[in-house]
Amino acid sequence: MRTSTSHKRQNTPITRAVIYARVSSRKQVDEGHGLSSQKSRCSAYAESQGYEIEASFLEEGVSGGVSERPQMQEMLAYLDTHSTKDDPIAVIIDDISRLARDVMAHAELRASIMMSGGVLESPSMDFGEDADSKLVEYLLATVSQHQRQKNAEQVRNRMKARWMAGYYTANPGIGYRYEDVEGHGKMLVPYEPEASLVKLAFKNVASGRLRTASEVKRFLEQQPDMPRTPSGTVRLQAVIDMLRRSIYAGYVTVKTAGIYLQPAQHEPLITFDEWEKAQAMLDENSNAPARQGINEDFVLRNFVNCSCCGNALTAGWSKGRNKKYPYYTCQTRTCELRGKSIRRDKLEGEFSDMVQQLRPAPQLFHLVKDLFETFWNQRLLDVEGRKEGLTRQLAGLSRKIDALVQRVVATDSPSLVSAYEEQIKKLEVKRIAIGEQVKAGIEPLKPFDEMFTAAMRFIANPCIIWENGTLDQRRLLVRLAFPNNLTYDRETGYRTAQIALPFKLLGGNDMKNLKMVEPDGIEPTTSCMPCKRSPN
């Protein structure tokens, strides 16, 4: 039994104690023995003093530079409840740095412990109340703070040196993962099938097929291999972050360190030109005012260019005396036609006439079916290759799991057993996820004939889709039929448009003299009910 220095005047004996231990990183919790070794030394000290240990408060992965800590708050609440003036409780810490690594935080926590009825003690030093003891205490607290700041500075310098050498060190994001590479240490390497999705998304943006982050999001949500939130969605902000990251083009950017487009050591997934086009798309959309429902009102917004300046037409509503009127207009400042409106009915009506001309010749369906079936079979061969890749991943995961199981059997350390078991759980989850991809994402959802029929119905009746389809269906039709933006002249209407391959291949204008058998199972082109036009 010991009479604490701070309680000598009152001659108050201390018989009870609590232990407080802290480590500052999750790595120390998962891989080290910091908490257990601190607790052991504090327990040995309590036994030597004849204290009964009532509770232990172990702070996991909390910096010594902050005073707001979960376990510290629980300990203070415990002291408030169980400690009295006549029966104080010793708070045992292994070292002064375990209490705090910041002078202000140390002083704040020291005062809080005393106000709650605790007496701070340690096997490594005596926390006295005399001037000399306090001088030593706060000198040690200052040294502890300096060590923390110096360590942080050295870590930042090492990380910056690695960034400058072209090695990215933060979250790898979609399409990459870290691996040990001989001569490089840990570095980014492409991770399939996510890497292919990243490549495809950037290529679609660069080609103009996808023109907003929201469209990229919808595209990625259609891909079964795309990582998702627990609710099964793809977050828009995650898509924007992906498009902004220069690592995909082979460059390291760390704004907080003043590093911008430093050539990287890892393998890029896209070209720098594709990345730049994605930045231009994001910047353009971020500067445009957000207007609720504007695309629903104007389907061709951003699909049609001004004949004068070549920039995309925007759209809006003009307020008249009794009602509002929809119109398209060019808002480019240097354009001679800036602000001159085009009635929505006129521009979209003439587009409807163009869609009517997309009706393919039914005689060609049998001919292209053989061609598409060849493409389909080639795709199946590619799928088999991807399936083999996923199967190899499964085998590799199984080997890692088996190796960890052997380590569990061979070790006697409870902390190592717990760490290995946690790694095994993570690998098992990953193995299950890849197994699900092999089952659900490899084989075609429907047979070729059914898929081909559905596709031909879409191509055979574009005007019905334009008149009666949903917003997404109508915009998809525009993209599929016209790979590049259309150009509209206020006097002469639409200029000659480039038609996409499926409609060009099946176009009927140059094939009227061919005589082929009517295709079985394919829905023939029908009259467009809204415009009352029959096929030629």
Return the beta strands (E) in 140-275 as ranges. 176-181, 185-190, 251-254, 259-263
Residue bearing the bigger pLDDT, 453 or 486: 486
SS3 275: helix
The number of angstroms, rounded, from the C-alpha of 495 to the middle of its chain's C-alpha atoms is 41
Please compute the mean of the pLDDT values over residues 352-366 and round it to a whole number.
68
Half-sphere exposure of 532 (CA within 13 A, CB side): 0
Which one has a higher pLDDT value, 115 or 232? 115
For range 10-24, the mean pLDDT: 83
pLDDT band at 412 (very low <50, low <70, confident <90, very high): confident
Confidence of residue 179 (pLDDT cuts 50, 70, 90): very high
Residue 351 and residue 493: Cα distance in Å, rounded?
A: 9
Residue 521: the pLDDT is 44
Confidence of residue 292 (pLDDT cuts 50, 70, 90): very low
419 within 8 A of 28, measured Cβ to Cβ: no
For the residues of 79-129, what is the DSSP string, one character each? HHHH--SSS-EEEE-SSHHHH-SSHHHHHHHHHHHHHTTEEEEBTTB---S
The mean pLDDT of 482-489, rounded to a whole number, is: 86
Strands in 89-92's sheet, in edge-to-edge order, are: 52-59, 16-22, 89-92, 118-121
Residues 6+ apart with CB under 8 A from 504: none
b/e burial code for range 5-18 (CB count within 10 A of at least 16 → b): ebbeeeebebebbb
The residue written with tokens 């006697």 in the block is 412
pLDDT of res. 488: 92
CATH 3.40.50.1390 spans which residues of the chain?
Answer: 2-156
**Is omega for the bond preceding 524 within 30 degrees of 0, making it cis?**
no
- Label residue 490 by pLDDT band (50, 70, 90): confident
> Is a pLDDT exceeding 80 seen at residue 75?
yes
- Please provide the average confidence, as pLDDT, over all residues in the chain: 78
* Strands, E assignment, 202-287: 251-254, 259-263
Q: What is the pLDDT of residue 293?
A: 47
Structure confidence at residue 404 as a pLDDT band (50, 70, 90): confident
Nearest to 267 by CA among 212, 215, 341, 192: 192
Confidence of residue 17 (pLDDT cuts 50, 70, 90): very high
For 2-156, CATH number?
3.40.50.1390
Q: What pLDDT does 477 receive?
A: 76
- Side-chain-facing half-sphere of 525: CA atoms under 13 Å: 23
Mean pLDDT throughout 304-325? 87
Kind of pairing, strands 13-14 and 2-3? antiparallel
Helices (H), 288-413: 294-297, 344-356, 365-410
Report whether 53 contacts 18 (CB < 8 A). yes
Lowest mean pLDDT among 6-15, 384-393, 475-484: 6-15
Cβ neighbours of residue 355 closer than 8 Å, sequence gap 6 or more? 462, 463, 466, 477, 481
Of all residues in the chain, the percent with pLDDT exceeding 70 is 75
Please name the amino acid found at residue 502.
P
Intervals of CATH 3.90.1750.20 along the chain: 176-287
| Highest averaged pLDDT of the listed ranges 76-80, 82-86, 492-496 | 76-80
Give the pLDDT mean for 384-408: 81
Taking the C-alpha atoms of residue 328 and residue 92, their distance in angstroms, rounded to an integer, is 75
At residue 1, does pLDDT exceed 60? no
The per-residue pLDDT for 250 is 87
Q: What is the pLDDT of residue 354?
A: 84
**Across 47-76, average pLDDT:** 86
State mean pLDDT over 304-328: 87
Q: Is 176-287 a domain of CATH 3.90.1750.20?
A: yes
What pLDDT digit, counting tens, does each position of 103-148 carry? Answer: 888 888 888 999 998 999 999 888 888 888 788 888 888 888 888 7
| Interval 30-44 mean pLDDT | 79
Tokens for 489? 């002249």
CA distances from 74 to 18, 21, 69, 79, 322 (A): 12, 13, 9, 9, 67
Mean pLDDT along residues 388-413: 83
pLDDT band for position 439 (cuts 50, 70, 90): low
pLDDT at 384: 64
- From the list 462, 477, 480, 488, the residue with the least C-alpha distance to 304 is 488
For the stretch 491-527, pLDDT in tens is 888 888 777 655 665 554 443 333 333 444 444 444 4
Q: What is the phi-psi region of residue 182: left when phi exceeds 0, alpha when psi lies from -120 to 50, beta otherwise?
A: beta
pLDDT of residue 201: 93
In the numeric block, the tokens 């004949």 are attached to 307
What pLDDT is stored for residue 153 in this prediction?
80
Which of 61-75, 158-172, 289-303, 330-344 shows the lowest mean pLDDT across its residues? 289-303
Cα separation, 219 vs 237, in Å, equals 15
Query: How many of the other CB atoms lie within 10 Å of CB of 492?
Result: 8
